[in-house]
Chains A and B, each alone.
Chain A
Amino acid sequence: MSSPALILLLLFMGIPILLTFGLSFTNTRLISPNPPAFIGLDNFVRAFAHDPTFIRSLLNTAFFAVVVVPCQSLLALALAVLVNQKVTGVTVFRTMIFMPVVTSMVVVSILWSFFYEDDGLFNSVLNTLTGGGWTAVAWLNDPGTAMPAIIILSVWQGVGLHMIIWLSGLQGIDPALYEAADLDGVNGWQRFRYVTWPGLHSTMVFILVTITIAALGLFVQVDVMTSGGPQDATSTLVYHAVRKGYREQDMGYGSAISLIFFLAVLTISLIQRRLTRDKD
């Protein structure tokens, strides 16, 4: 029964992964008359010893994930608790928060690029608020602000989806538990800490793993908004792999970067599973 799925998985996931694994030990080019040759670990040495952009991409990716994973999941939880009230018009808020999720990331990125311009929305607002005292910042062109700018946009775009997932978790909690807690005379925080939070455990694991994997794969925003710049401040592993492997036609090196990325994601996912399982 599962054979069709397995065949497709093998064709479109298994084989490419194996190919990546094999290519990363060669100097294969996308377009070249020279036959590929086996070069051992050269690509990996090059990445860690001679390619500062790779190291920077590694750190950027880690930084992005470390900030985005807690911020996005907690913000989504807060929003979910807020819109989990039985108030008229709450659906409107849910829809509004969910709207960015159904918008294409490319569209969102282009729009936000305008917001971040010298004379864009953010500078105008800050200028108005400070009564003209604000000096315009080219958010995406300053190495210090480019990554935070992308982080804010990414959280804004992704938070709606995870809010909905938290919400489904919240609504799966038995109301009888809340009634019992009320009888025991709990305050708001205690209710959240001892009833809501334990009830959300499996939702939490799911959200943590999906946000982490999505965050590590950061690519579209960078490709559309900054091309990895300025000064590598927003270059990520996936972006660097695409730039080297495809745009600069160095498939062998691009594969090596992809392989490193694959191993990093695998390790982090395994650690997360381990940590969240221990709590059971």
Chain B
Amino acid sequence: MLINRRTFIGISAGAAVAATLAACSSQAGSGSGGSSSGGITLWTHNGGNTEELGVVKEAVDAFNQANPDTPVTLKDFPQESYNDAIAAAAVSGDLPDILDLDGPIMPNWAWAGYLAPLNISAELENAIIDSAKGYWNDTLYSVGPYDTSLCFLGRKSAFDAAGIPIPTIDKPWTGQEFDDALAKLSALEEYDVAIDFSNADGAEWWPYGYAPMLQSFGGDLIDRETFATADGFLNNDKAIAWGTWFQSCFAKGYASQTPSTDGQDFLQGRVPLYYAGGWKVLQSQEAFGQDEVLILPPVDFGEGAHVGGGSWQWGVSSTSSNPEAANKFIELLMQDEYLVKYSNAIGNFPSVESATPKTNYYGEGKPLEKVYEIGKQYALLRPATPGYKVISSIFDKAARDIVSGADVKTTLDQAVKDIDADIVSNNGYKAP
């Protein structure tokens, strides 16, 4: 009995090790799963997001019917773990043929050689709005079916009560007017604080939401000409003015350092002004009625008003065994038909203008019209450099420190030091 048991354990351990090794080697070996049968694979981040996933599934079904020789196999991941899954697959050489990716991450993957340049028709390329196209090193690597825009959402009744003139898209608030508005709103009895800056959000929100304000002051995350240094941009006088102003909004009690997540403070009527984006408009209109919710443009702090641009986009991996089919699928997905479905499903605006009038929410007099106009007029992409992921992480930390009361200049100087050290240690992120 004892010998049997020993043998059994030995065999099972051997099997476990063999299985582990096999798993490792199969990850490293197969370029793209399923490609041997002629089909191609697709990964998407919208697992659990049934509306958006439904649109992708429809496109996949249509493509598979039209191209039975190169069927697309779809695999969906929840958004929280999607980037990790991609990074792990990329490192082990197991990327799918088609993948979607968050716009600002694209240059990092293109630089690392994980993405192949896109090869779509020039006509389509020209039709897509700038903020939905991912260029790096003068090459198109990704296109997105939609984009959205940042905006302020305001309660009309509160603005009337406080006697605040309502800014228009063509004539946004100046910094001074914005501060006046915050002061007046915070004087209202029925609200806790004047504004929710969405600072409860994590991950990419801080650079996406607050870097446009920094740029409006005249600072920036990095030198956009050379992408070689942040010195003189993230820590210049104007950037320090931004930091000082942003810090003062919390110090003066205009905004809470710990707002509820997901805009609940605004939706439950505790805050009259909310810095968010197109994705929150419908929900707010449902809560208060379309007339009560003001959709307001970003503030012009001196160097023009800006909002962040760039959302999820599609790209083709460099290991794809059939890039023609992959590009063909992306072209299909970018047809008006699917762009309209996307827009109706998730409330973002289509990235091709000809699709706009056919959507439920965008176009003349429709509820989200203003979101589109703000995006069209003010969108500024995040810097397209492979180092963006590091810049994003460092800026996130610096902005959080500033909000909690850190010395603005010291914080930004250290951020610049960290960003520049990273650029140097990567040989300037030069294209290989």
Tell me whether A143 and B405 are in contact (CB under 8 A): yes
Verify if B256 is at the interface (C-beta below 8 Å from A).
yes
Q: Which of B20, B90, B411, B422 contacts A248 (CB 8 A)?
A: B422
CB within 8 Å for A250 and B425 given contacts A4-B9, A8-B16, A11-B20: yes
> A138 vs B414: C-alpha distance in the bound complex, in angstroms?
25
Distance from B344 Cβ to chain A, minimum over Cβ atoms (Å): 33
Q: Is the CB of B426 within 8 A of A29?
A: yes
Contact with A along B338-380 (1 / 0, CB 8 A): 0000000000000000000000000000000000000000000
Q: Is the CB of B426 within 8 A of A231?
A: no
Chain A residues whose CB sits within 8 angstroms of the CB of B400 once the complex forms: 227, 229-230
Closest A residue to B111 using CB positions: A33
Residues facing A in B296-323 (CB within 8 A) are: none
Residues of A within 8 A of B202 (CB): 227
Nearest-neighbor residue (CB-CB) of A243 within chain B: B393
Q: Does B62 contact A (CB under 8 A)?
A: no
Q: 1/0 contact trace for A229-265 toward B, CB 8 Å? A: 1111000000000010001111000000000000000
- Residue from A3, A8, A46, A142 within 8 A of B404 (CB atoms): A142
Contacts of B127 in A (CB 8 A): none
Provide the bound-state CA to CA distance between A1 and B411, in Å.
56
Number of residues of chain A lying within 8 A (CB) of chain B: 37
Contacting pair B432 A34 (CB below 8 A): yes
Q: Is B287 engaged at the interface, CB distance under 8 Å to the other chain?
A: no
What is the CA–CA distance of A119 and B259 in the complex, to the nearest angstrom? 9
Tell whether B389 is near chain A: CB-to-CB under 8 Å: yes
Assess whether A230 is in contact with B405, with CB atoms less than 8 Å apart.
yes
In terms of DSSP, what is the predominant structure of the interface of chain A?
A: loop
Is B22 in the interface zone, CB < 8 Å from A? no
Least CB distance, B6 to chain A, in whole angstroms: 7
Q: Note all chain A residues with C-beta closer than 8 A to B414.
A: 52
Q: B interface, how many residues as a size bin?
A: 35 or more
Interface assignment of B335: CB less than 8 Å from any CB of chain A: no
The reply on A7 being an interface residue by CB < 8 A is yes
Contact flag A140-B258 (CB < 8 Å), given A230-B400, A247-B393, A248-B389: yes
- In the complex, whether B87 has a CB less than 8 A from a CB of chain A is yes
Instruction: List the B side residues contacting A230 at CB < 8 Å.
Output: 400-401, 403-406
**Residue numbers in A under 8 Å from B192 (CB-CB):** 119
Q: CB-nearest residue of chain A relative to B193? A: A118
A50 at the interface (CB under 8 A from B): yes
B50 CB, nearest partner CB in chain A, Å: 25
Chain A 1-43 interface mask (CB, 8 Å, partner B; 1/0): 1011001100100000000000000010111111000000000
**B residues less than 8 Å from A7 (CB atoms):** 13, 17
| Residues of A with C-beta under 8 A to B393 | 243, 247-248
Q: What's the Cα separation between A76 and B394 when bound, in Å? A: 39
Question: Which A residues touch B9, using CB under 8 A?
Answer: 1, 4
In the bound assembly, the distance between CA atoms of A27 and B256 in angstroms comes to 41
* Interface status of B390 (Cβ within 8 A of chain A): yes
Give the residues in chain B near A52, CB-CB below 8 Å: 414
Q: B269 on the interface (CB 8 Å rule)?
A: no
**Complex Cα spacing A11 to B16, Å:** 11
Q: Which residues on B sit within 8 Å (CB–CB) of A34?
A: 426-427, 432
Is the CB of B187 closer than 8 A to any CB of chain A? Answer: no
Rounded to whole Å, the gap between the CB of B84 and the closest CB of chain A is 9
Return the contact of B257 from the options A8, A118, A232 (Cβ within 8 A): A118
| B10 within 8 Å of A (CB atoms) | yes
Contacts of B390 in A (CB 8 A): 248-250
| Cα-based distance from A219 to B313 in the complex (angstroms) | 33
B10 and A4 within 8 A (CB): yes
Contacts of B396 in A (CB 8 A): 227
List 11 interface pairs A-B (beta carbons < 8 Å), by A numbering: A8-B17, A30-B91, A33-B112, A33-B113, A116-B258, A120-B258, A143-B404, A227-B400, A229-B404, A231-B411, A232-B401
Known: A31-B108, A31-B114, A229-B401; 12 extra A-B contacts, CB below 8 A, are: A3-B13, A7-B13, A7-B17, A27-B425, A50-B417, A118-B258, A138-B257, A143-B404, A227-B397, A228-B397, A243-B393, A247-B393
Q: List chain B positions with a Cβ less than 8 A from chain A.
A: 6, 9-10, 12-13, 16-17, 20, 87, 90-91, 108-109, 111-114, 192, 202, 256-258, 389-390, 393-394, 396-397, 400-401, 403-406, 411, 414, 417, 421-422, 425-427, 432
